Structure 1
């Protein structure tokens, strides 16, 4: 199985990039993992919020393959514990899912069409985090989930 973390937005600040690199390297022991940054829509500042979300949504939907399992990170999504995330990943692996994509939307969230395409909507917290920090948190949580799956000591239960 391959896991990708897609995120709309700018390059990571150095401290975020360094943190992600640590967990990305650790993740490679368990799974083929890739972080994919999707550039913001050109002339985004001149678009209305609904139009911006629609254009971002079209770009994302065009990138997805029919067999991709899409997990949309959304403030209204389901909250899970690390153990539940580990169970979810194990279920996807058991189902022979080829690719799971965790998607972080743009500054105003995800378009309805993308949310409808997602097989799972996941919320990390009722708090609002900067997108770059969410990339780091998700990379660490994926690593943590794999240590749970492999019964390693990183996650304390």
Structure 2
């Protein structure tokens, strides 16, 4: 199963990249993982927020393949524990899911059209984090979930 983390926005700061690289290397032992940064819409600063979200949404929907399992990170989404996240990954693998796309939206969130396409809306926290930090947090949590599935010591229960 391939897992891609898509994020709309700018390149990561070096300290974020360093952290992501650590967990990407570790994830290679378990799954095919890729981080895909999606540039913001051209002339974004000149667009009203609803129009910006609409254009970002269209761009995302055009990139998705019909069989992609889309997980949208959204503040109103479902919260999972680490063990539930591991269980989710195992369930998707058992179901024969070929590719999971985890989406971090733009600065103003994810357009409703994309949220409707998502099979799962997931919240990492009730707190607000910078998008770059969310990338690092999610990659670490993905690694943690795989260590749980493999009964490794990284996650203490």
Q: TM-score range by the shorter chain?
A: over 0.9
Aligned length: 157
Deviation at 1:152, TM superposition (A): 0.3
Unaligned runs of 5+ in 1: none
Give the equivalent residue in structure 1 for 2:141.
141
Give the equivalent residue in structure 2 for 1:56.
56
- CA–CA distance in 1 between the matches of 2:90 and 2:79? 18
- CA–CA distance in 2 between the matches of 1:49 and 1:149? 40
Give the equivalent residue in structure 1 for 2:96.
96
- CA–CA distance in 1 between the matches of 2:6 and 2:141? 15
- CA–CA distance in 2 between the matches of 1:26 and 1:103? 21
TM-score (norm 2): 1.00
Deviations 1:105-145 (A, max 9, x none): 00000000000000000000000000000000000000000
Deviation at 1:61, TM superposition (A): 0.2
- CA–CA distance in 2 between the matches of 1:109 and 1:84? 24
Moved over 3 A (4+): none
TM-score (norm 1): 1.00
